[in-house]
Amino acid sequence: SEYEKVRERVANRKPRSRQLAYARSIENAPSLDWANYQPPCPSFLGTRVFDSFPLEDLIDTIDWTPFFITWELAGKYPKILEDKVAGEQARELFSDAQAMLKRIVDEKLLTARATIGFWPAARINGDDIAVYADEDKTSQLATLHHLRQQTEKPNGKPNYSLADFIAPIESGVQDYIGGFCVTTGHGVDELAAEYEAAHDDYNSIMLKALADRLAESFAEHIHRLVRRELWGYADDENLSNVDLIREQYRGIRPAPGYPACPDHTEKATLFKLLDATNGCGVALSDNYAMTPASSVSGFYYSHPESDYFAVGKIGRDQVESLAQRKGETVSVMERWLAPNLSY
């Protein structure tokens, strides 16, 4: 009977993951060997601005797969161009995109601007990172607050937090963190408005989709420059564009609002550290959206074991701790972390 089938389905369902107490999840942090590791020192401390980056340098590192998703065509690039169902439409879109890209570059219709920074840093209070103005750590600029995985892990696997990838203050090891904000969005709204005034929605959507792709490519390009030269911990890196898009390199660039740091409010601290609005003309709205829209921001971590992960569901005990550390109310943090709450 239908009832039997339902009962069987329920019985076969995976048991829900158990949640650890927050204090217990901190105890289960990964143990990195700081005693035998020397963190790389960046080539400068503080911020640096890239004012008008050559757009033509960003074409080769474009990841085209999300571009087709914008047009509701599912499939990986370049295979999608030969797809039996979507291929013809994909080829037409791709051809139009190339023509518009050429125009964007030739006529400098958009401007690529970036601000990046490096600062001495140390892990404090379990899941926070203190950011300093100098290596003596006499002047603290900011505190970054991170979240930790709280789901019980199988067979000795750790519960990760981004704070784990920075040397703890008690280790005495000199470590650093980086930050970035890049944009290719200056000029988009004006141009899109012209298309829309002429009832040309197709080219308006095309322009915004390409600006988004260029912004992601710019983030990739600057991160490579950081790894190879500006932080210089992978100066012998020689990856193909495919490997770059697959992120086959050392270090990570997690962004606030994404699975490893789902708290959007951390963008405010990042933007203050970078002075991003003055540096590259990107502002934050009241709900922490970046304007112009085709912008990407986040942090740089250099540790060879640093990796992406999803924080997942967290308990009220962790939210209370975070609210206290941030000087916020629990209800405000619950609003920002609603998708991650297990209660």
The CATH number of residue 178's host domain is 3.10.196.10
Q: Is residue 164 assigned to a domain?
A: yes
Predicted local distance difference test score (pLDDT) of residue 38: 97
Q: Is residue 103 assigned to a domain?
A: no
Predicted local distance difference test score (pLDDT) of residue 280: 98
Cα gap 306→302, rounded to integer Å:
7
Q: What are phi and psi of 336, to 5 degrees?
A: -75, -30
Cα gap 295→114, rounded to integer Å:
9
- For residue 138, is it left (φ>0), alpha (ψ between -120 and 50) or beta? alpha
Predicted local distance difference test score (pLDDT) of residue 156: 87
Identity (one letter) of the amino acid at 231? W
Cα gap 317→127, rounded to integer Å:
14
For residue 48, the number of C-alpha atoms closer than 13 Å in the C-beta half-sphere is 14
Q: Is residue 274 assigned to a domain?
A: yes
Question: What are the tokens at 281?
Answer: 């003309």
Q: Is residue 127 assigned to a domain?
A: yes
Q: How confident is the model at residue 272 (pLDDT cuts 50, 70, 90)?
A: very high
Q: Is residue 248 assigned to a domain?
A: yes
Give mean pLDDT, residues 78-88.
95
Q: Which domain holds residue 276?
A: 14-53+112-184+211-340
Alpha helices, DSSP H, located in the chain: 2-12, 22-27, 65-70, 87-106, 188-197, 201-225, 241-245, 266-274, 276-280, 316-326, 330-336
227 neighbors 216 (Cβ within 8 angstroms): no
Q: Is residue 1 assigned to a domain?
A: no
Identity (one letter) of the amino acid at 71? W
185 neighbors 293 (Cβ within 8 angstroms): yes
Give mean pLDDT, residues 14-38.
91
Which residues are within 8 A (CB) of 146 and not within 5 positions of it... i.e. 6 or more apart? 127, 128, 129, 161, 162, 163, 261
Q: Is residue 90 assigned to a domain?
A: no
130 neighbors 122 (Cβ within 8 angstroms): yes
pLDDT in tens, 111-138: 999 999 999 999 999 999 999 999 999 9
Predicted local distance difference test score (pLDDT) of residue 142: 99
Identity (one letter) of the amino acid at 28? N
Q: Is residue 149 assigned to a domain?
A: yes
- Whether a cis peptide bond, with omega within 30° of 0, leads into 78 is yes
Q: How confident is the model at residue 7 (pLDDT cuts 50, 70, 90)?
A: low
309 neighbors 260 (Cβ within 8 angstroms): yes
Judged against a pLDDT cut of 90, whether residue 246 lies above it is answered with: no
Judged against a pLDDT cut of 70, whether residue 2 lies above it is answered with: no
Helix axes 87-106, 201-225, angle to 10 degrees: 70
Q: How confident is the model at residue 144 (pLDDT cuts 50, 70, 90)?
A: very high
Q: Which residues pair with 296 in a beta bridge?
A: 182
Predicted local distance difference test score (pLDDT) of residue 1: 57
For the chain, the domain total comes to 1
89 neighbors 28 (Cβ within 8 angstroms): no
